[in-house]
Structure 1
Amino acid sequence: MIEYSVFILLGIFSGLIAGLLGIGGGLIVVPVLLFLFPLIGLGDSPHLVHLAIGTSLATILFSSMASIYTHHKNKGVLWDVFIRIAPGIVIGSILGSTIAHLLPGEILKKVFGVLEILIALQMAFGRNPAPTRTLPSGVPLSFFGVSVGAVGTIMGMGGGALTTPFFMWCNVAARNAMATSAAIGLPNALAGAIGYIVTGWGQPDLPSWSIGYIYLPALLGIVIPSLFFAPIGATLTHRLPAKLLKRFFAIMLVLLGLNMLIH
């Protein structure tokens, strides 16, 4: 059981980062799981990439519940926006898990690596978009939800990294943009995790204690400590230099993304 303690350490770290920077842990969890799985004897499974992504999405399901409670208590979630975009998010999540199932693991790794580097560069050098328009409604907002759900599910990170800047571009206050994005993570993670369970169900060569493409020991090891350490990270964010932290985290994401592309 000692080797499984690494999942607990990953949960502590991802929880702190999520609390400090308000970013879903999937950007860290997926590449680190791909590194850890062979170390605990899962290297022979041909489904490691799908397992890492599916497990990451399942962790977001639990962390988003805690986040929604906090943001709702602080009256930050725009529930009318949530209700309008959630159906598209769910459809996109189902679509994303289906696409991920059909793609070979190596291609998924490359896609993840490229997108992770782009997100890191935006985090390090990008500026918050100028609020130049209003939030769309109807078909445009639904289409955006489908796109966010699909990309977030394929990457196992949820869609917060995409919805927050979009909402701010549409004149939504930063506080409401981040809170509403956190709420959107719930239907994204729920539909995506179910999709990874269904598409992975009955696949050969999955490790024991897997439900579809979700590896339960990693899920439990990550979720439990992250729920305790995310609030600690949120407290530290008011005491540490946020800009410097984002630059440091961006460098880490670039290195993880490059590793996904090279190996």
Structure 2
Amino acid sequence: MDQYIWLIPLGFVIGAGGTLIGAGGGFILMPVLLLLYPSESAEFITSISLAVVFFNTLSGSGAYALMKRIDYKSALLFSAATIPGAILGALTTVFIPRRLFNGIFGIFLMATSIFLFLRPSSGYGKKKSLPKHWLTRNLVEADGTSHTFSFNPVLGVSSGWD
């Protein structure tokens, strides 16, 4: 158990950084754990990462709730797909050998990175017509700041990860 105690400050640092950029930090923590614990199973490493991301998300959500920065309707929509996906992923890792898991995870991270670098600019601040089936939401924070945003619920639900 003592060999894992250092995960507490690591989780705190990754959680703080991940919450600042709007992510849980799993994309940082997983490679670290995979490199430092080569003999541990994929499901063990994944469970640690999911636990850290859960607590990071919980603490970040609490702070954002106080500032009224959460669109609860959108959050419920994304959660409807995220929770079953997390359960399915956790059950699936039991059947995937560690070497195969490492390769799949590495390819997934590289593909995500390439997508983020190559996708077109979002055109922040530009008014444009939205494609069909996109939802537009408005959120007013505790300080009165208003935010309007749009998303495709099908793409948002199917591509959510951390």
Q: If the TM-score is normalised by the length of the shorter chain, which range does it land in? A: 0.5 to 0.7
Corresponding residue number in structure 2 for 1:93 = 86
Distance in 1, Cα, partners of 2:95 & 2:86: 14
Letter of the structure 2 residue corresponding to residue 31 of structure 1: P
Corresponding residue number in structure 2 for 1:225 = none
Aligned residues with identical type, % of pairs: 24
Counterpart of 2:24 in 1: which secondary structure?
coil
Corresponding residue number in structure 2 for 1:17 = 17
Higher strand proportion (structure 1 or 2): 2
1:34-60 CA-partner distances (Å, limit 9, x unpaired): 22225xxxx3x5x2x221111100111
Counterpart of 2:23 in 1: which secondary structure?
coil
- With over 3 angstroms needed to count, the CA separation of the structure-2 counterparts of 1:62 and 1:103, relative to structure 1, is same
Could you state the TM-score of these two structures normalised by the residue count of structure 1?
A: 0.44
- With over 3 angstroms needed to count, the CA separation of the structure-2 counterparts of 1:77 and 1:104, relative to structure 1, is same
Corresponding residue number in structure 2 for 1:36 = 36
Distance in 2, Cα, partners of 1:143 & 1:92: 14
Aligned length in residues: 140
Distance in 2, Cα, partners of 1:2 & 1:18: 25
Q: Is the 8 A contact 1:85 1:142 kept in 2?
A: no
1:114 corresponds to 2:93: no
Distance in 1, Cα, partners of 2:97 & 2:27: 20
Could you state the TM-score of these two structures normalised by the residue count of structure 2?
A: 0.67
In structure 1, runs of 5+ residues without a counterpart are 158-263
In structure 2, runs of 5+ residues without a counterpart are 137-151
Corresponding residue number in structure 1 for 2:73 = 80
Q: CA deviation at 1:67?
A: 0.8
Higher helix proportion (structure 1 or 2): 1
Letter of the structure 2 residue corresponding to residue 104 of structure 1: P
Q: Is the 8 A contact 1:87 1:142 kept in 2?
A: no
Q: Is the 8 A contact 2:18 2:24 kept in 1?
A: yes
Letter of the structure 1 residue corresponding to residue 34 of structure 2: L
Q: CA deviation at 1:5?
A: 5.5
Q: CA deviation at 1:142?
A: 6.8
1:183-227 CA-partner distances (Å, limit 9, x unpaired): xxxxxxxxxxxxxxxxxxxxxxxxxxxxxxxxxxxxxxxxxxxxx
Q: Is the 8 A contact 2:43 2:94 kept in 1?
A: yes
Counterpart of 2:73 in 1: which secondary structure?
helix
Letter of the structure 2 residue corresponding to residue 111 of structure 1: I
Corresponding residue number in structure 2 for 1:104 = 97
Counterpart of 1:102 in 2: which secondary structure?
coil
Q: Is the 8 A contact 1:30 1:56 kept in 2?
A: yes
Q: Is the 8 A contact 2:11 2:52 kept in 1?
A: no
Distance in 2, Cα, partners of 1:125 & 1:143: 18
Letter of the structure 1 residue corresponding to residue 50 of structure 2: L
1:43-84 CA-partner distances (Å, limit 9, x unpaired): 3x5x2x221111100111111111111112222211112223
Distance in 2, Cα, partners of 1:143 & 1:124: 18
Equivalence map 1:96-175=2 (5 Å): 96-124=89-117, 126-129=119-122, 132-133=130-131, 134-135=134-135, 141=153, 145=157, 147-148=158-159, 152=161, 157=162
Higher-RCO chain (CA-CA 8 Å, sequence separation at least 6): 1
Q: CA deviation at 1:111?
A: 1.3
Distance in 2, Cα, partners of 1:95 & 1:3: 29
Corresponding residue number in structure 2 for 1:69 = 62
